[in-house]
Homo-oligomer: A and B are copies of this chain.
Amino acid sequence: MEATIEKEICVTHTKETCVTAVAAVRDTLYVLNGKWKLPLLLALADGPKRFKEIQRDLQEITPKVLSKELKELELNEFLERKVFATTPVTVTYELTPYSRSLDKVLKELREWGLQHRQRIIKSRKNKVE
């Protein structure tokens, strides 16, 4: 073990950078966390949608939770809420270009996750045999 995780994640070994690094990782985890963040980002990936429209797409989400999740995503600048003065008023939610900055992270998360699942399934098999 030459390049330890600590080396990787903390870059240098001072306590301060370590704390910062852990906080940064946690920030990212936090932003993506919760049951609905990912499905919500995906639901909006094919263009702007209205509140009820999203609710119908995600089927099981309650309006309270949807409202909260949308607000969080908006605070993180992943989406923009637009109000149109139609009658009745129309509200749409639309992904920002910045939301695409997650692509690289999501790709890594997906690949590691796929690989990990395979590995764990394999290990369990070996133990049973």
Does B27 lie within 8 Å of A113, measured CB to CB? yes
Give the residues in chain B near A22, CB-CB below 8 Å: 38-39, 42
When distances are taken between beta carbons in the complex, the residues of chain B under 8 Å from A26 are: 38, 113
Number of interface residues of A (CB under 8 A): 56
What B residues does A110 contact at CB under 8 A? 9, 21, 24-25, 28
The docked-state distance in angstroms from the alpha carbon of A101 to that of B8 is 11
A39 to B23, CA, bound (A): 10
Residue among B25, B27, B39, B116 making CB contact with A28, cutoff 8 Å: B116
Q: When A22-B42, A100-B5, A101-B112 are in contact, do A27 and B117 touch as well, CB less than 8 Å?
A: yes
A31 part of interface (Cβ distance < 8 Å): yes
A residues sitting closer than 8 Å to B (CB atoms) are 1, 3-10, 18, 20-29, 31-33, 38-39, 41-42, 45-46, 76-77, 95, 97-117, 119-120, 123
